[in-house]
Amino acid sequence: DYNRVYNFSAGPAIMPTPVLEEIANEVLNYRGSGMSVMEMSHRSEVFQTIIDEAEADLRELMNIPDNYKILFIQGGATLQFAMVPMNLMKNGVADYIVTGAWSKKAYLEAKKYGKVNLLATSQDKNYTYIPDCSDLPVDPNADYVYICENETIHGSTFQKLPNTKGKILVADQSSMFLSKPCNVSDYGLIFAGVQKNVGPAGLAIVILREDLIREDLDEKVPTYMRYDIHAKSGSLYNTPNCWSIYVCGKVFKHLKKSGGLSAMQKRNEEKAAILYDFLDSSKMFRGTVEKEYRSLMNVTFVTGDEELDAKVVAAAKAAGFDNLKGHRSVGGLRASIYNAMPKEGVEALVAFLEKFENEHK
């Protein structure tokens, strides 16, 4: 017992304790190399093995087909908001579905690079639902259709992928990456900032179909922002975020040992149900997203009274439940219950909220 709190942060977020223990054991001397991974050349054989294994384990976990590349790129998920249009806009047109703060940011960024259509949005109801995406007026010239599959701030998630009418689907999976099985062939490109469900911030994982990698880009596109460069150099064009790649690799192995993504989905559904069932039965708290579109990872809720919300957050922190404050742009409360959050953490949180409610009737 390390006296750790239950950390409900949206990211950087809770990590599996066994992974942290392994890292602690290796931090002075990584497997006889005489140094830690943070001191090691990214051109060394030892590091090459680390990155190769990370890629192979991720490929196995997600069952990624051979015609998809896996890239480890710095700049977080935010850099992908620009890299996606810079690399994929061949006709200079893209369709964006805006369901919350993160898809909105991506949409605004993409507008710098071409004609960007707002294909659908849930802004009218403050992003509390996912619009019907079964028959949207997809632009015949669109190079891709873009979604944020799980909106970290607003707490909504796509239950069904949009009908892109044959266009390539691009998805920001940052806050749901590896939370359940994923049929990679449904997408042209998936990206995720790793600091929610996987590892230390500052790294994005990009999974993209090989035939979408272009070399005929505008010559002003910065070298670092070209997928072809990263693909050709095995994510080692320059010094990568070695430390994050190393930790992510450990998490991939941990997930494989824990039963893979189907097991994660089962656990995550159980955990989310415990919290949502409580919110649905509570007279003090209520979930903010329409039931059908609720996120398994980011549970957003309110009391309806901002002062009371703040009181709950403070009392929770004092009781060992940290980072329950909703994002500054929406307020209220948010419990992020990523893969590494144990069921006991969610049960303990519900017990705490129940007690709080009873004491403040």
Q: How far is CA 346 from the centre of its chain?
A: 20
Token code pair at residue 293: 């579109």
- Binding-site size for ligand PMP (CB under 6 A) equals 12
Instruction: For residues 106 and 109, give the distance between their C-alpha atoms in angstroms, rounded to a whole number.
Output: 5
Q: Which of 87, 128, 157, 175 binds ligand PMP (CB under 6 A)?
A: 175
Among 4, 101, 2, 3, smallest CA distance to 323 is for 4
**DSSP codes, 110-147:** HTTTSEEEEEEE-GGGTT-S----SS----TT-S-EEE
Smallest distance, ligand PMP to C-beta of residue 11, A: 5
Smallest distance, ligand PMP to C-beta of residue 137, A: 25
Examine the residue annotation and report whether 228 is marked as an active-site residue of this protein.
no
**Nearest CB to ligand PMP, comparing residues 30 and 191:** 191
Which residues, other chains included, contact 245 with Cβ-Cβ below 8 Å and sequence gap of 6+?
50, 51, 54, 72, 203, 235
Instruction: For residues 333 and 320, give the distance between their C-alpha atoms in angstroms, rounded to a whole number.
Output: 16
For residue 6, give the H/E element and its range: strand 6-7
Residue 9 found at the interface with ligand PMP (CB under 6 A): no
φ/ψ of 46, rounded to 5, equals -60, -45
Instruction: For residues 334 and 324, give the distance between their C-alpha atoms in angstroms, rounded to a whole number.
Output: 5
Residues of span 312-351 touching ligand PMP by CB under 6 A: none
Which residues, other chains included, contact 88 with Cβ-Cβ below 8 Å and sequence gap of 6+?
94, 143, 144, 168, 170, 188, 189, 212, 214
Examine the residue annotation and report whether 243 is marked as an active-site residue of this protein.
no
Residue 295 found at the interface with ligand PMP (CB under 6 A): no
Smallest distance, ligand PMP to C-beta of residue 277, A: 25
| Catalytic pick among 102, 139, 167, 271 | 102
Binding string, 120-159, against ligand PMP, x = CB under 6 A? ----------------------------x---x-------
Choose one: 75-83, 155-163, 182-190, 263-271; the region binding ligand PMP (CB under 6 A). Answer: 75-83
Residue 109 found at the interface with ligand PMP (CB under 6 A): no
Residue 193 found at the interface with ligand PMP (CB under 6 A): yes
Smallest distance, ligand PMP to C-beta of residue 41, A: 26
Binding site for ligand PMP (CB under 6 A): 11, 76-78, 102, 148, 152, 172, 174-175, 193, 201
| Active site residues per annotation | 102, 172, 196
